[in-house]
Every structure is written in structure tokens, then in C-alpha cells.
């Protein structure tokens, strides 16, 4: 028999979501809602090392950092930190095998996880309660289903993060008061992760923005593949953007986004940081479904070639495909044209007077 919904707030709650940056930003309104509705509940968040750098200044949260590169030592460290502890509720908000194994090291009476439709890597074996409600929803809405299962129907849509004064000063110095559009051209470098829009097309958009008096900056992580892709884009440009790829911390990137008029990005974590910063995000989607993973407050601005990509490469409609099914073809992002992006730029209120 289910013990949910709860009849009173729990004394302690542990949230398990290690990665990635985008998914961690989706957790933030859930945290804000918990803190508002259950102010006396002690909240612990088990999180990845990189992702912790983005949220480390949140107040009222105990963070336990899992350092994946340490291998088995990281699991032993978590077991040591959990010794003698027990939570009333564990929110198992990640279904990857690593997270499932970590969840077994977290003692909790109620272990709430995803339903059968969203379960994988034996997730159902590690929980004793599951979500109810539709499974074909945006990731953020899926996270709020955890609260609904506990008995919380409210939502506080607050992303909680504010850049430090030092990071804001750094960003203002880079932007220099000029109207700026940021392009974060790369998604994460993973096998068969075909989410990057062609370099030559990105360069054409950059030139178009420059022609309309807008400053353009490239951002991204320090991975050599991201640096190389930014260099390739610049080779096609008639007027070079400022290349900050690999040169910002997560805090500096958040501050920089807060100074910009808009962000252009594929399906990648910084797209969701744009949501946190409160700016419109033109998401570029063909390989993945923006209705599931798009920038939450900017879905109307996204270029969505996913339905056509599914039909072309898999012979499926969105309704026929598994929710979250990817189109893994090296050419899939070529389904997005330059004019598709420019039309989205023209529709942004913050660029009126420039375009």
C-alpha cells in the first residue's frame, strides 16, 4: 500500500540528481517550491562535482558532492557520509545505473522514483514508490511530478541563482554596454551526439547579427572539441565574434548571459542557463525533442525540426516515437536552415530597433 501522498511535511528529504547542467537547472524550481511549502524540512542534495559549481551558493541546502572521476572511492565516500543517517524521503530523480547504485547507499524510508515508462537501468528495483501522471512531458514538469506525488500541488517558478558581484562585474566589462547576442555552438562531446548546427551556417547568422549592429560572443566549455568547433566557425565569418569558449566559469557564463539580449544554442546545458538568466533562448532542435528537453520559458522561440527528422530518418511521427527518442544521424542538424534562425531572431522583442 502506498504511503503517498504525505499527510505532513517530512523532517528530512534527500534529492539525488547528479547531472547534467540542464537537468540541474530544472531541479531549481522544485527546490524553491519545497523551501516555500515545507520551510522546516531539511533538504540534502547529492550532486555531481561540476554541477555543484553552479548551485553551490544556494542557501538552506546541504550538498553532498559525488566526484565521478574518483571511481569506487567516490562510492565509498558517499557510504561513509551516509553512515548513521536516514532520510524520511529520497527523490531518485535520475535513472542512469550510476545514480541507481548511489541511491542504494542513501538510507531512506520512502524511495520515490520514475514510473515504468521512464525507468531504465533497473531503476524500478531501487525505489519503493513511483510517479503518477503523464510520462510524455518536459523534464521540468516531470520533476514537479515528484512533488505532486508527495502531496504538493504548488509551483514556485524561481530559478534561485544570482551571479556573484565579481562575476557580474567581469561580464559587464566584457559586454561593454553593447547589445549582445551569445551563441553557445556546441553540445557535449559524446559518441553519436549529433546536436551541433553546421559551422558555416552559424557563421552566416553571426555575420547577419553583426550587420544589424549586434555584438556576438561565442561561449562553451574547455573541451578541445568545443574550442576546435569555435575556431571552425570563426574561419567562415566575415566579421569575427568574440571567442570566449573555454574561458568562463559557470558563474561567469551565467552573468554573461544575464547581460545579453538573447542566446542561440543547440540542446545543451547553457541553453537552460539562459532560462535561469531570464533571456530568450533560440534552441536549435532536430536530433532531440524540444517539448521534452527545450529551454522551458523559450519553447516558442525554438527551431523545431525534430518531427521532420523523425519522419525522414526513422519513418515515425512524434506520437509513434518513444518519448525522448533521439535521431542519431550526422546530417540531422542540416535540416535547420539559416533563415529559420533569423526569423526567430526577428521575432524577439529585445532586439526591436536593431533588426
The sheet carrying 180-183 orders its strands as 242-243, 215-218, 180-183, 262-266, 281-285, 303-304
Q: Which of 81, 1, 7 is nearest to 46 (CA)?
A: 81
Please report the pLDDT score of residue 10 as a whole number. Answer: 98
Q: Which of 61, 67, 21, 30 is nearest to 48 (CA)?
A: 67
One domain, residues 211 and 130: no
One domain, residues 107 and 177: no
Please report the pLDDT score of residue 274 as a whole number. Answer: 98
Flag whether 2 is in a domain. Answer: no
Q: What is the DSSP letter of 196?
A: P
One domain, residues 146 and 169: no
Half-sphere exposure (CA, 13 Å, Cβ side) for 31?
Answer: 26
One domain, residues 192 and 243: yes
| Contact assessment for residue 303 and residue 344, using Cβ atoms and an 8 Å cutoff | yes
Please report the pLDDT score of residue 188 as a whole number. Answer: 78
Q: Crossing angle, helix 199-211 and helix 338-346, to 10 degrees?
A: 30
One domain, residues 206 and 341: yes
pLDDT profile of the chain (355 residues), mean per 10 = 94 97 98 98 97 97 96 96 97 95 97 94 94 96 98 98 97 97 90 91 98 97 95 98 97 98 97 98 98 98 98 97 95 98 94 80
State the residue range of the domain holding 84: 12-150
The CATH number of whichever domain residue 275 belongs to comes to 3.40.50.2000
How many domains does the chain contain in total? 2
Flag whether 259 is in a domain. Answer: yes
One domain, residues 219 and 333: yes
One domain, residues 125 and 176: no
Flag whether 156 is in a domain. Answer: no
Flag whether 334 is in a domain. Answer: yes
Query: In the listed set 150, 173, 208, which residue is the last one of a domain according to the structure?
Result: 150
One domain, residues 180 and 145: no
Amino acid at each position: 500500500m502506498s504511503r503517498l501522498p504525505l499527510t505532513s511535511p517530512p523532517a528530512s528529504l534527500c534529492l539525488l540528481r547528479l547531472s547534467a547542467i540542464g537537468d540541474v537547472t530544472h531541479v531549481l524550481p522544485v527546490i524553491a517550491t519545497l523551501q516555500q511549502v515545507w520551510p522546516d524540512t531539511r533538504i540534502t542534495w547529492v550532486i555531481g562535482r561540476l554541477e555543484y559549481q553552479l548551485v553551490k551558493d544556494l542557501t538552506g541546502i546541504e550538498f553532498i558532492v559525488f566526484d565521478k572521476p574518483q571511481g569506487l572511492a567516490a562510492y565509498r565516500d558517499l557510504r561513509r557520509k551516509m553512515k548513521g543517517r536516514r532520510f524520511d524521503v529520497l527523490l531518485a530523480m535520475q535513472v542512469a545505473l550510476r545514480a541507481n547504485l548511489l541511491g542504494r547507499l542513501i538510507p531512506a524510508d520512502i524511495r520515490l522514483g520514475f514510473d515504468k515508462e521512464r525507468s531504465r537501468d533497473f531503476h524500478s528495483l531501487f525505489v519503493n514508490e513511483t510517479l503518477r501522471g503523464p510520462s510524455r512531458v518536459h523534464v521540468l514538469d516531470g520533476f514537479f511530478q515528484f512533488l505532486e506525488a508527495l502531496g504538493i500541488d504548488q509551483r514556485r517558478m524561481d530559478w534561485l541563482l544570482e551571479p556573484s558581484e565579481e562575476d557580474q562585474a567581469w561580464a559587464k566589462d566584457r559586454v561593454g554596454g553593447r547589445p549582445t547576442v551569445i551563441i553557445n555552438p556546441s553540445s557535449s562531446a559524446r559518441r553519436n551526439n549529433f546536436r551541433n548546427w553546421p559551422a558555416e551556417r552559424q557563421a552566416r547568422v553571426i555575420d547577419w547579427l553583426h550587420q544589424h549592429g549586434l555584438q556576438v560572443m561565442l561561449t562553451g566549455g574547455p573541451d578541445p572539441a568545443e574550442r576546435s568547433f569555435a575556431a571552425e566557425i570563426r574561419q567562415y565569418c566575415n566579421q569575427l565574434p568574440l571567442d570566449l569558449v573555454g574561458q568562463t566559469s559557470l558563474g561567469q557564463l551565467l552573468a554573461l548571459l544575464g547581460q545579453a539580449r538573447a542566446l542561440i544554442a543547440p540542446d545543451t546545458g547553457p541553453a537552460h542557463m539562459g532560462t535561469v538568466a531570464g533571456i530568450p533562448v533560440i534552441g536549435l532542435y532536430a536530433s532531440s525533442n524540444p517539448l521534452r528537453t527545450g529551454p522551458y520559458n523559450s519553447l516558442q522561440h525554438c527551431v523545431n525540426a525534430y518531427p521532420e527528422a523523425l519522419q525522414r530518418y526513422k519513418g515515425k511521427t512524434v506520437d509513434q516515437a518513444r518519448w525522448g527518442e533521439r535521431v542519431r544521424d550526422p546530417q540531422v542538424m542540416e535540416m535547420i536552415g539559416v533563415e529559420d534562425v533569423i526569423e526567430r531572431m526577428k521575432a524577439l522583442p529585445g532586439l526591436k530597433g536593431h533588426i
